[in-house]
Every structure is written in structure tokens, then in C-alpha cells.
């Protein structure tokens, strides 16, 4: 935008600036608009819709829409609503920084092809997603050659650009992304040599292990890690080793797999660089911000949702969190945000749990992950005698506990634990 409209933008105060036009951001923006708020969406990429736009497989929307959709179908529904509600969306809008001026004023510095601008907003919904872990941070040594991709990058190449990364593939990580990419490669005719997993069990949903690996005869190597990538110009092979209980390579257990492609699905990290600069509290287990039940961070009026908050199993959760954030932002602007917060603590076998604080004044959904798998598990909040029995819990599958308003009234704090039910 030229100087004129940019100054217009400066003088305007939005009720909510949404950073990130993926599922969490769009669902939050739509909800906020439905609540009568003046919203702007800032998306760094060339279009809104987020990562589901490149996920051509089904499995999206079972919870949020009660239908099994593909990624693009899921996003298109949100995009349609964004259009209907007339929400202003800027693409190629890169957020340079966020300044929390006061509890009712935030300034977002944005770079766009139209110019640089400052957007003033009473609240912010930060929904910038996650980034993928790369080969260096997980300690893979060897040659720095072509043919090494993160799973998401390989997916972008295949399903946005229509390019085949390679023909014989080793996938590192058996989370859902790794499993789905194994199938994706196989469907395009690649020889998927193995999916390599450090844990003694698959990281992703059982459903995906069956549909993506077993149905295609792709071997899953659990308790293994890729230690080296070898090649002159392009990947020629990987060296892998068995790992012990503390995930260290066992000596003399090395073997080689010839391949020309390595796809890394070694986990996601919340993409919160700009928030970190704004000095908010971070949870070292989620690697995302500490939030209350409205997904509000330690800075009043700054909300976070989706994978920027914590890595979610389903895009549905990201969208739900975006909605909660919008409801929170609305309360905040009206001056009705609760001020008395009760902590939710991690008890036995709980690796992470969020939201980190609840008000006790309404129904709330708790998201958690266990440290270790348990069969016949009991997931419980002992303080209020709330118990949920589960046939099995796995670190790779989030535990959801819905707490009713009446269950949490009058409590000081809650502890979530997960024990063996026998």
C-alpha cells in the first residue's frame, strides 16, 4: 500500500491482529468477526489456509466439522467463512516485531510488498504455526549433500510444485507426518526403504501406522536412529544404529541403507521467535507460551493458538484453540477477562499439559501428553475425583479431558496424572 493508505492503517486500531493465516488463525479470525470484532489477518506466505493446503490426504475435520476431510477441504471451509465475514487478509505480510505498548495497545510491525507499516491492535492472536526440526539439531553427522529434506518441505515440493524429490527414500521419525509422507512417497512410485524411529514404538496414530506403512509394506525400524548421511553430491546412503534406553547408539549395531533421499520428520517446534522477543513466559515442555484457558499468554491481550502454542495432533484442535482465543480477546476488550487463575500442574507420567491456568468459571478442555505409554490407563485429577479410563495412552496421542464448570468450582489448583489402571 502506498503512503496514504498506510497512514490510514496506522491511525486505525483493530480489535484483533491475527498473525498467521493457517487453521488456528483463520478459525480465530472468523470467531472474532462473528463476535463483532474488527479483525486483520497477516499471513507471511502467498495465500491463506496454512499447512493443510498441502496435505492432500484425509483425516482433517473429524472433530471440528464432524466430517472426514482432506487438508485443502478443511482450509477451504475456513477461507470461505473469512470471505463471507469480509475479514481483511494481507498475504506476503511478514511480521518483524510485536510491541506490547500497554495492556490495551499492541503495535505489530509488518513488511509487505506494499510497504512497511505499523498495525495497532487491542489484542493479538499469534498463530504462526511451527517449524520442523532439521538434521543438525538432532545431531546427524556426515556429508552435507542434496537429497535431504524436512518432511514438510518434501510435501511442499510434491503437492504444491509437483516435483519428485527422489526415488529411494528413508524417513526419519514415525510421527504422523513421517508416516503420511512415507505413504505419499510410495503413492508416487518411490521406494520407501524404511521409517526409522528412535522410540521403541511408533510416534504417530495407530490408524496411520496401518494405513501408511502396513498397507504399503514399508518397514518400520523402532529403537533405531540415523547417525550419518553419506554421499558425494547427493545422498547415497544413511548409516543407522540401534539405540539403548537412553537413546544412545549401541556400538557395533550399525547398518547401512542405500537411498537417494532422506525426509526428516523429527518433530516440530512452536514458531514463537517474535513472541520470545516480547518476553512472554514459555513452558519448557511444550516449548510454547504459558496460557490460560482463553489461550492468553503472560502478556495481557496477547493470545496464541495452534502449533505456535503447542504441537497438536489434529488441525481440529488448532482451530478450537483459535476460537477460544477469539472468545478470550472479546472478553478482554469488554473488560470481562477473569483475574483469578488456578494452575494445572503436571503429575505422574504427564509430559505436558495446557492450558496452564483455568478460571473455574466455565467448561474447559484440557490437552495433555504422557511421558510413557500405559495400557488400561487412568487419567485423573485427584483433587476433584475426576477420573477417565483409557484403553491405552501413548505420548504420540494427546489426551483430552473435558472439565465441567461445576467440577472445577472452588478449587485452588489441579494436578493431572496418568497411572496404570490395574
Kindly list the residues in this chain that would bind other proteins in the complex (CB under 8 A): 44, 92, 94, 96, 111-116, 131-132, 134-139, 141-146, 149-150, 152-153, 156-158, 160-167, 188-189, 227-228, 230, 232-234, 260, 273, 276
Min dist. Cβ of residue 94 to other proteins (A) = 4
Min dist. Cβ of residue 233 to other proteins (A) = 4
> Position of cell 477451504?
76
**45 or 347: whose CB is closer to other proteins?**
45
Question: Judging by DSSP bridges, how do beta strands 148-150 and 261-264 pair with one another?
Answer: parallel
Assign residue 349 a region (left: φ > 0; alpha: ψ between -120 and 50; beta: otherwise).
left
Cβ distance 415 to 384 under 8 Å? no
**187 or 419: whose CB is closer to other proteins?**
187
Residues 6+ apart with CB under 8 A from 15: 32, 37, 38, 39, 121, 122, 123, 329, 333
Min dist. Cβ of residue 292 to other proteins (A) = 26
**138 or 384: whose CB is closer to other proteins?**
138
Min dist. Cβ of residue 213 to other proteins (A) = 21
Min dist. Cβ of residue 301 to other proteins (A) = 24
Question: Judging by DSSP bridges, how do beta strands 168-172 and 261-264 pair with one another?
Answer: parallel
**60 or 90: whose CB is closer to other proteins?**
90
> Position of cell 511421558?
371
CA distance between the termini of the chain:
64
CB atoms under 10 Å from CB of 230, counted, come to 15
**158 or 196: whose CB is closer to other proteins?**
158
> Position of cell 509394506?
217
**270 or 301: whose CB is closer to other proteins?**
270
**Greatest CA separation for the chain:** 69
Min dist. Cβ of residue 289 to other proteins (A) = 16
Amino acid at each position: 500500500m502506498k503512503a496514504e493508505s498506510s497512514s490510514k492503517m496506522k491511525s486505525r486500531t483493530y480489535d484483533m491482529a491475527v498473525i498467521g493465516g493457517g487453521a488456528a488463525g483463520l478459525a480465530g479470525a472468523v470467531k472474532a468477526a462473528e463476535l463483532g470484532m474488527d479483525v486483520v489477518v497477516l499471513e507471511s506466505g502467498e495465500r491463506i489456509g496454512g499447512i493443510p493446503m498441502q496435505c492432500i490426504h484425509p483425516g482433517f475435520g473429524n472433530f471440528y466439522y464432524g466430517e472426514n476431510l482432506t487438508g485443502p477441504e478443511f482450509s477451504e471451509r475456513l477461507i470461505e467463512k473469512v470471505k463471507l465475514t469480509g475479514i481483511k487478509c494481507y498475504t506476503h505480510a511478514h511480521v518483524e516485531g510485536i510491541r506490547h505498548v500497554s495492556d490495551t495497545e499492541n503495535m505489530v510491525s509488518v513488511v509487505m510488498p506494499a510497504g512497511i507499516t505499523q498495525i495497532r491492535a487491542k489484542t493479538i492472536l499469534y498463530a504462526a504455526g511451527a517449524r520442523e526440526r532439521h538434521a543438525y539439531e538432532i545431531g546427524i553427522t556426515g556429508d552435507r549433500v542434496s537429497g535431504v529434506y524436512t518432511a514438510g518441505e518434501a510435501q511442499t515440493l510434491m503437492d504444491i510444485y509437483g516435483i519428485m524429490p527422489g526415488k529411494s527414500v528413508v524417513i526419519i521419525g514415525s510421527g504422523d507426518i513421517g508416516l503420511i509422507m512415507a505413504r505419499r512417497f510410495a503413492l508416487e512410485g518411490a521406494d520407501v526403504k524404511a521409517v526409522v524411529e528412535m522410540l521403541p514404538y511408533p510416534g504417530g496414530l495407530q490408524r496411520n501406522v496401518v494405513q501408511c506403512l502396513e498397507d504399503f509394506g514399508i518397514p518400520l525400524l523402532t529403537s533405531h536412529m540415523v547417525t550419518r548421511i553419506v554421499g558425494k553430491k547427493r545422498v547415497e546412503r544413511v548409516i543407522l544404529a540401534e539405540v539403548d534406553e537412553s537413546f544412545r547408539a549401541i556400538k557395533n549395531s550399525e547398518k547401512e541403507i542405500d537411498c537417494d533421499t532422506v525426509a526428516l520428520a523429527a518433530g516440530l517446534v512452536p514458531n514463537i521467535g517474535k513472541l520470545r522477543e516480547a518476553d512472554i513466559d514459555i513452558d519448557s515442555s511444550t516449548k510454547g507460551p504459558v496460557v490460560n484457558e482463553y489461550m492468553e499468554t503472560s502478556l495481557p491481550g496477547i493470545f496464541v493458538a495452534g502449533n505456535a502454542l503447542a504441537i497438536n495432533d489434529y488441525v481440529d484442535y488448532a482451530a478450537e484453540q483459535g476460537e477460544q482465543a477469539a472468545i478470550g480477546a472479546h472478553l478482554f476488550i469488554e473488560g470481562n477477562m477473569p483475574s483469578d487463575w488456578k494452575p494445572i500442574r503436571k503429575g505422574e507420567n504427564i509430559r505436558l499439559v495446557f492450558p496452564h491456568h483455568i478460571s473455574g468459571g466455565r467448561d474447559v478442555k484440557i490437552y495433555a501428553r504422557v511421558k510413557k505409554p500405559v495400557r488400561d490407563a487412568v487419567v485423573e485429577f485427584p483433587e476433584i475425583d475426576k477420573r477417565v479410563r483409557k484403553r491405552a495412552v501413548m505420548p504420540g496421542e494427546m489426551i483430552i479431558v473435558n472439565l465441567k464448570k461445576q467440577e472445577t468450582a472452588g478449587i485452588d489448583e489441579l494436578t493431572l496424572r496418568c497411572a496404570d489402571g490395574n
